Amino acid sequence: MTGWSVVALDEAEHRRGWIPLRELLDVHAYGVNAWSVENAGDPVIPEHDEREVQHEELYVVVRGHARFAVAGDELDAPQGTIVFVRDPSARRGAVAVEAGTVVLSAGAKPGSAYAPSAWEWNARAFQPYHEGDYEGALAGFREGHERFPSNWTLLYNMGCMAARLGRRDEAIEHLRAAYALGADADPLTDDDLASLRDDSELVAIAGKANAARQRA
């Protein structure tokens, strides 16, 4: 155990474009990850905001060339560009202009001790999902839910995995709980829930969720 670590991005584990630096280096003070894409035009930073966790975020284009969209503005970002988004409510995202683009991101909430968010558990569980290991993905989402019981996305994804595994009652239970927490996904258009698309309980859940969105 030493007081420092070093890693080469090319040698670090890549999980479908996600390089989990915080986990790899065991960083506790802030969130830090890197993202890579193979092709120009691919999204290198998914469109999102930080309302839920109130993080400020900094992005560094360490290789290639990206184009950011932040709060409706487009920003050209060749290698070496630093983009700082102070406002957690600002929508942001980036696409690669050049193949092989890599963007490093770091963030935390000002004035608060950092703790990893539910997003990280979701991202980990999607790795076995993309490999067709739905049981492994369900276990990953469940681990996240135990840590973040009020996060609806983990419950929703648990429902999706249970549906993929043919466990109808379990899927409905998780989905009902997810919508009770305010889930805003449309279950009737989700391919992971195709086996339940005509299920009366899922249709009822979707109807209540849609009515709640219209009232909001």
Q: pLDDT tens for residues 179-208?
A: 999 998 899 999 999 999 999 999 999 888
Per-residue confidence (pLDDT) for residue 32, from 0 to 100: 96
Does the residue 10 lie in any domain?
no
Per-residue confidence (pLDDT) for residue 2, from 0 to 100: 77
Q: pLDDT tens for residues 38-75?
A: 999 999 999 999 998 999 999 999 999 999 999 999 99
Q: What is the dihedral sign for C-alpha 149, 151, 152, 158?
A: negative
- Segments forming the whole domain that contains residue 55: 18-108
Per-residue confidence (pLDDT) for residue 216, from 0 to 100: 58
Confidence bin at 212 (pLDDT 50/70/90): low
Last residue of a domain, one of 108, 140, 167: 108
DSSP 149-176: TT-HHHHHHHHHHHHHTT-HHHHHHHHH
Together in a domain, 122 and 104: no
Say how far apart CA 209 and CA 193 lie, in whole Å: 16
Together in a domain, 130 and 165: yes
Say how far apart CA 91 and CA 81 lie, in whole Å: 19
Confidence bin at 215 (pLDDT 50/70/90): low
Q: Which pair of structure tokens corresponds to residue 50?
A: 């930080």
Q: What is the count of structural domains for the chain?
A: 2
Cβ neighbourhood burial of 191 (10 Å; 0-12, 13-18, 19+): exposed
Does the residue 191 lie in any domain?
yes
Confidence bin at 1 (pLDDT 50/70/90): low
Beta-strand ranges (E) seen in 12-165 are 18-19, 31-36, 43-48, 56-63, 65-70, 73-78, 82-85, 92-96, 102-108
Q: pLDDT tens for residues 24-38?
A: 999 999 999 999 999
Last residue of a domain, one of 54, 76, 108: 108
Confidence bin at 14 (pLDDT 50/70/90): confident
pLDDT above 90 as % of the chain: 87
Tell me: pLDDT of 91 over 60.
Answer: yes
Together in a domain, 85 and 51: yes
User: Among 141, 151, 124, 119, which residue's Cα sits nearest to residue 192?
Assistant: 141
Confidence bin at 214 (pLDDT 50/70/90): low
- Return mean pLDDT, the chain: 94
* C-alpha 104, offset from chain centre: 15
